[in-house]
Structure 1
Amino acid sequence: MEFDFQWLLLGLPLAFGLGWLASRLDLRQWRREQQSSPKAYFKGLNLLLNEQQDKAIDAFIEAVQHDPDTSDLHFALGNLFRRRGEYERAVRVHEHLLSRGDLPRAERERAQHALAQDFLKAGLFDRAEAAYRALESTAFATEARLALLTLYERSRDWPAAIETAGKLEAAGAGSFAQRIAHYHCELAHEAQARGQADAAEQALARARQAAPHAARPIVMQGERLARQGRHGEALATWGELMAVQPASFGLVAQAYATSAQAAGQVPQALERLQALYALHPGTQLLRALLQLDADPAARRRRLADHLERQASVSAVLGLIDECLHQQDRLSREELQTVHKVLTAAARPLQRYRCAACGFEAQHYFWQCPGCQSWDSYPPRHVDEL
């Protein structure tokens, strides 16, 4: 039977028409989906900006239902759950993203980072650590290591913290030498508490190697030597602190004076402390000088001079103690100085404080300017409460 080409001529337009009609139907459906999805998305964004988080969540869920393949909507919804403290729901959203096989690598890494944040906020530190470790060699590697460093500090896992800080420094994320020194000092403190003197010594040595000018390793090393009765070595160690971190020397000033007395080096220590005090006057250095100075008149002069240079309540108490010890009275000039110091110290306490929010004011308010509460100010100054 011969093929009739007339049927072909009739069939081609018909097939074309059906194809065109099908494409128009698909196009209209696609447009409807695209219109409904952004509408729900922008509705959720508007609600979020107006701090209506419950309604915003509902809008984002609606947007996700209209367009379940859009990862940005999932991220917005998951982050919103996390901000509200609904960590379990946030985890489910981000785990759903990770389970998708069509998710691009960059989006997968982003979802892994969001999941790690969910675990951290939820207090699931073990799972957070595993999630952050999975981000090694990704675009989030530095952020993950910083988060891991915080985790290790919180859990006091100092060896892991040292390793992570070293990786961060090697990756160019900044200098972590000071923090690494602190981690070694913590290990030294733990070893000392367990009675492991050699381990403590090694940890302090590593701390000083990590940050030669850090104050804490030098302070701890000197204290350790002083406890062992090696006061001469302790003085030498703290002498290094005096050179590299003079502002921190006040932390051990009185211990330095005690070791100087035990080692029979009072004149030398007094001379060094006087030179340092001239550059960095402070109450702690003053107390060390008073401890080493045997002359009562000289001690009183030191206190008076210090009050002229740097008025403080601690120095006033020292002057009063010195007068009581000598059974003497304050001179007129000393009384004027004491009055000046106490007036300045009392001024911040001569204020009213709101019992509801803690807002302080010099004048009494019936309604707190801070929290708008009525009758929340006790009718007494802070120093009377």
Structure 2
Amino acid sequence: MDFETWWLIFVPILFALGWVAARVDIRQMLSETRNLPDSYFKGLNFILNEEPDRAIDAFIEVAKLDPETTELHFALGSLFRRRGEMERAIRVHQSLLARSDLPQAEREQALYELAHDFLKAGMLDRAEQTFQQVLETRYAVSAVRALIRIYESEHDWPRAIDAVRRLRGLVDEPVPQLAHYQCELAQAALAVKPPDIQEAVAALDAAEHAAKKLVGDGQGQAAMTRIAMLRAGVARMQGEYDGERVFLESVLSGAPAYSGLVAAQLYENYQRGGQSAQGLALLRQHYLRHPSLDVFNVVFRGLREQTGHDQAWAFAREALQAQPSLLGLDRLLEVELAAPEGERVAVQGQSLADLGLLRKLIHRHTQRLDRYACRECGFEARHYYWQCPGCNAWETYQPRRIEEAV
């Protein structure tokens, strides 16, 4: 194609058009900048000078002067919530919701943020109501998870179960605590007078169904253990002691780490059936394979009662040599000092007062070791919990005391 000279006319025209467009953009930017309140630039300056409190005050002034700055409102609300200034955070988000011209997407966001404000402020009823208002929005998954936490804290297990089912309808992910919710219902049914056995069994069936779905993923052992323990309790209430024994022994074989939680009840079951020797033999063999302080304590006390101190101390010496434990020694001395004088073990050169002093010194040290500890938050407790009272996480307590877990 031949080049025409008159085409060169377009070059200066295009250059002129570009220059005009640039001037218009610059003028518009300068106009918008002039329209920004001085407080906005003061706030930026305070941030650069690391004065966050004065920066917040400046941005609050901007929000008052220009109510259209919704992003600034959201930023301030989140900042107030992180700083623990819940009243100010709530006020910011409520002021957004009061605007009739607020777009739907931003209204949903304001509701979601307000619900979190209520939750962090401990206003659970208002948090629940506000989260329910966003269940049909893009915040549905997060809202349902928050509702589950609320129902957990209120021990409203039926509603927690319903919320979990709703969550599983939104996302395909396991919810390990579902089995524990059912166990809580079963435990509540057994605690009433008279116990509601039928309701407890139905709840345990649902719990087992939920727990079995987790077993294939390497989870669910703790839940299955709890279910077995509760089923053993139901069997005992019904006078079915053989059934109780089956459930308790299933913990020894299926979840040996939790054997300490059932050892005393299992030995009591054998005693009730006049089979103390068989029970001690079973627990003693189990201890050799899976050492546990609670199992050790049951076996030592059982041997002390059934066979006398010689065999009990022979077992204790062998066990403590293999698994040295101050808590174990503390338990030994406690039993010996409580025994009748003629039945105490003879310790050469040691008087009863000496043994008492030794036990007192050891016990003072072992008090801090005789606890269960949460893996998540470190909360320590004398009793075993399926849900940590400190951080509310599930299955974070090891079924061993601090000394054993180290």
Task: Confirm or deny a common fold (TM above 0.5).
Answer: yes
Letter of the 1:327 partner, please give it. R
- Does structure 2 conserve the Cα–Cα contact (< 8 Å) formed by 1:166 and 1:176? no
- Change in 2 beyond 3 A, CA 1:306/1:169: farther
Query: Are 1:295 and 2:307 matched, yes or no?
Result: yes
Taking structure 1 as reference, are residues 64 and 228 closer, same or farther at Cα in structure 2, changes over 3 Å only?
Answer: same
Could you tell me which amino acid in structure 1 is paired with residue 182 of structure 2? Answer: H
- Report which stretch shifted further, 79-88 or 224-233: 79-88
The one-letter code matched in structure 2 to 1:299 is: A
Cα distance in 2 for residues equivalent to 1:281 and 1:265: 23
Q: Displacement of 1:322 after TM fit?
A: 5.2
Q: Does the 8 Å contact 2:197/2:234 carry over to 1?
A: no
In 2 relative to 1, CA 137–278 (structure 1 residues): closer, same or farther, beyond 3 Å? farther
Aligned position for 2:346: 329
Separation of aligned partners in 2, 1:76 and 1:286: 58
CA distance in 2 between partners of 1:331 and 1:229 (Å): 47
Aligned pairs for 1:37-186 within 5 A: 38-43=40-45, 45-46=47-48, 50=51, 52-53=52-53, 55-100=54-99, 102-172=101-171, 174-177=173-176, 179-186=177-184
Question: 1:320 and 1:304, CA in 2 relative to 1: closer, same or farther beyond 3 A?
Answer: same
- The answer on whether the counterparts of 1:223 and 1:234 sit within 8 Å (CA) in structure 2 is yes
Q: Does 1:187 align with 2:185?
A: yes
Cα distance change on mapping 1:318 and 1:147 into 2, 3 Å: same
Which structure has more RCO (C-alpha within 8 Å, separation ≥ 6)? Answer: 2
2:252: which partner in 1? 242
SS at match of 1:305: helix
Counterpart in 2 of 1:315? 328
Between the aligned partners of 1:252 and 1:203, the Cα distance in structure 2 is 21
- Change over 3 Å in CA distance of 1:305–1:205 after alignment to 2: same
1:245 positional shift: 1.6
Change (3 A) 1:289 1:28: closer
Q: What is the number of residues matched between the two proteins?
A: 322
C-alpha contact (below 8 Å) 2:327/2:366 kept by paired residues: no
Provide the rounded CA distance (Å) in 2 between the counterparts of 1:228 and 1:75. Answer: 59
Cα pair distance change 1:171/1:266, threshold 3 Å: farther
When normalised by structure 1's length, the TM-score is 0.72
What SS does the aligned partner of 2:320 have?
helix
Which whole-Å CA distance do the structure 2 matches of 1:346 and 1:156 have between them? 36
Distance 2:148 2:234 in 1: 28
Specify the code of the residue in structure 1 equivalent to 2:260. G
Q: CA offsets, 1:82-134, max 9 Å, x none?
A: 34544333223212323445545543332221110111123322221121122
Query: Which has the larger displacement, 251-260 or 311-320?
Result: 311-320
Query: Any gaps of 5 or more consecutive residues in structure 2?
Result: 1-24, 213-220, 369-406
Query: In structure 2, do the counterparts of structure 1 residues 36 and 122 end up closer, same or farther at CA, with 3 Å as the change threshold?
Result: same
Check 1:250–1:329 CA distance in 2 against 1; reply closer, same or farther (3 A cut).
same
Amino acid aligned to 1:145: V
Amino acid at match of 2:120: K
Q: Contact 1:74/1:97 (CA < 8 Å) preserved in 2? A: yes
Listed one character per residue, the Cα deviations across residues 68-93 of structure 1 (whole Å, up to 9, x for unaligned) are 21222101222233345443332232
Aligned 8 A contact 1:307 1:315 in 2: yes
Alpha-carbon distance between aligned partners in 2 of 1:37 and 1:137, rounded to the nearest angstrom: 38
Q: Distance in 1 between matches of 2:26 and 2:326?
A: 86
Larger Rg: 1
Structure 1 moving runs of 4+ over 6 Å: 23-27, 338-345
Cα RMSD (Å): 3.5
Kept in 1: contact 2:333–2:359 (CA 8 A): no
Structure 2-normalised TM-score?
0.68
**Per-residue CA shift, 1:165-217, capped at 9, x if unaligned?**
2333444474213x112111221222223232221222222222221442212
For the structure 1 residues 141 and 285, does the alpha-carbon distance in structure 2 shift closer, same or farther, using more than 3 Å as the test?
same
What's the % identity of the aligned pairs? 34
**1:331 & 1:166 partners in 2: Cα distance?**
65
Mapped partners of 1:119, 1:286: distance in 2: 49
Alpha-carbon distance in structure 2 between the residues aligned to 1:329 and 1:60? 80
State the SS of the aligned residue for 1:329: coil
Q: CA deviation at 1:318?
A: 3.4
Give the equivalent residue in structure 2 for 1:282. 292
1:329 partner letter? A
Q: Secondary structure at the match of 1:211?
A: helix
Deviation at 1:41, TM superposition (A): 4.2
Amino acid paired to 2:160: A
